[in-house]
Amino acid sequence: MNIVFVEPAFPPTQRHFVRALAEVGATVIGIGERHQDALDDQLRSWMTHYHQVPTVVDVGVMTDAVRWIQDKVWVDRLEATIEAHTLAAAQVRENCTIPGTSVRTAWLCRDKPSMKEALRAAGVPTAASTAAHTAAEVRAFADAIGYPLILKPRTGAGALDTTRVDNPGELDAALGRFGGQGIESIAVEEFVEGHEGFYDTVSIDGQPSLDFVSHYFPNVLDAMRTRWISPQFIATNRVDSAADYGQLRELGAQVNAALGIGTSATHMEWFFGPKGLKFSEIGCRPPGVGAWDLYSAGNDLDVYREWANAIVHHHIGARPSRRFAAGIVALRPERDGRITGYSGVDDIQARSGEWVIDAHLPEPGTPTQPVEAGYMANAYVRMRHPDYDTLRGLLDDVGRTVHVYAA
């Protein structure tokens, strides 16, 4: 099978998708923005051809590149695994008559108000929402729904630029920020109270064939706005409990069907609280922040390879063992600047080093990144343990004990 893979070199995790496709027997043709000389020998060895383009999100440029490739070989699939690339990739598929995620599905997975409108029509429980083009439309929604509200770009990914407002004054301030960024339309949503997590799959013909459930502690908005918090997310190994996650798995299948998701990785966010289980949003692509690495470490399998098996062979070759829960705790520097050192690392190693998967502790002198840059922006520790609740305690201990100093 000949597969065109979009942007094989950046971010660095992209190379794992290329490797996995090559390992399961695909002929991989890369299209990316870097010059070929910037690719390392190993990455180049997994591809039979690499095609440089000025940008991978220009549909015309990408269509021309793919048609050039199609003049040479038959193209079976075109795959993109980065949120910002998915819609352009779908449009190129349509232009070049290549199977895969449709433009409709890619659009619904990018445009949050349209996504939720389609899901409400299919009976999926989700927060009230609207697409607003003017401040007056936002205020009218606020008058009808009440506060708190969540404001976010219509096609954003993750918590970046997502804002909670609790009153008209905060709403006015948020609208001013969005206006200053030149954003013409935003998604406005009812705030849903509850615990937040995500449900990730590798789906084949719309059916989740491989799935994982993770929990945020605390919820993302709090985690990405508060420096002193050492946030974490944990992939549970209790996924197969129907009592705990049966409803969530049913919800995932329902969302796939409503949005027309076929053979693809998915990343779905959810809330559970006083109003029950609520859908938040979904991406027709893998999760970020190294989640697949945690799933692989906890389940004795290579998730990238199983994704490749789904794409190339239309089946999953291995099942998750659910042997370990696995999680990450982010460690924030006390201030922005440059990292000067750490404390508590030896204590953690002595107490629970056997459960550490890996740790990222940037060298003193490394510039810090802002809190909102995410879980892997500065220092972090990843761990696994057979018992989910014990792992939560271990990650809490790391967050309390290890300190990152900066000046």
pLDDT tens-digit readout, 254-303: 999 999 999 999 999 999 999 899 999 999 999 999 999 999 999 999 99
What's the average model confidence in pLDDT over 50-59?
Answer: 97
CATH C-level class of 2-100:
alpha beta
What's the average model confidence in pLDDT over 76-102?
Answer: 97
Is residue 389 pLDDT above 60, yes or no? yes
Is residue 204 pLDDT above 90, yes or no? yes
Q: Assign domain 195-406 one CATH number from 3.30.470.20, 3.40.50.300, 3.30.450.80, 3.30.70.100.
A: 3.30.470.20
Instruction: Determine the number of helices (DSSP H) and then strands (DSSP E) in the chain.
Output: 14, 18
Is residue 125 pLDDT above 90, yes or no? yes
What's the average model confidence in pLDDT over 110-135?
Answer: 91
Q: What is the pLDDT of residue 155?
A: 66
Q: What SS3 state is found at 263?
A: coil
Q: Which phi-psi region, left, alpha or beta, contains residue 212 (left: φ > 0; alpha: ψ -120 to 50)?
A: beta
Structure tokens, 263: 């053979």
Residues 6+ apart with CB under 8 A from 396: 232, 329
- Cα distances from 249 to residues 8, 134, 201, 211, 268, in angstroms, run 31, 37, 10, 8, 11
Task: Please write the tens of the pLDDT for every residue from 340-384.
Answer: 999 999 999 999 999 999 999 999 999 999 988 989 999 999 999
Q: What is the pLDDT of residue 183?
A: 66
Bridge partners, 79 (sequence order): 5
Q: What is the pLDDT of residue 182?
A: 60
What's the average model confidence in pLDDT over 95-106?
Answer: 97
Q: What is the pLDDT of residue 403?
A: 97
What's the average model confidence in pLDDT over 51-69?
Answer: 98
Task: Please write the tens of the pLDDT for every residue from 301-343.
Answer: 999 999 999 999 999 999 999 999 999 999 999 999 999 999 9
| Res. 85 pLDDT band, cuts 50 70 90 | very high
- Cα distances from 70 to residues 74, 135, 315, 323, in angstroms, run 6, 47, 26, 44
Q: What is the pLDDT of residue 193?
A: 86
Which residue did the predictor score with more confidence, 406 or 127? 406
Largest Cα–Cα distance in the chain?
60
Q: Assign domain 128-190 one CATH number from 3.40.605.10, 3.40.190.10, 3.40.109.10, 3.30.1490.20.
A: 3.30.1490.20
- Cα distances from 325 to residues 197, 239, 356, 380, 399, in angstroms, run 14, 10, 12, 17, 18
Place of tokens 């490797």: 19
Dihedral pair phi/psi, residue 144, rounded to 5°: -80, -40
Domain ranges of the chain: 2-100, 128-190, 195-406
Looking at residue 49, what DSSP letter applies? E
Q: What is the pLDDT of residue 3?
A: 98
Task: Please write the tens of the pLDDT for every residue from 140-184.
Answer: 999 999 999 989 877 665 555 788 899 999 999 888 887 766 667
Q: What is the pLDDT of residue 396?
A: 97
Q: What is the pLDDT of residue 31?
A: 98
DSSP string, 171-227: HHHHHHHHHHTT---EEEEE---SEEEEEEEEEETTEEEEEEEEEEES-HHHHTT-T
Half-sphere exposure of 280 (CA within 13 A, CB side): 25
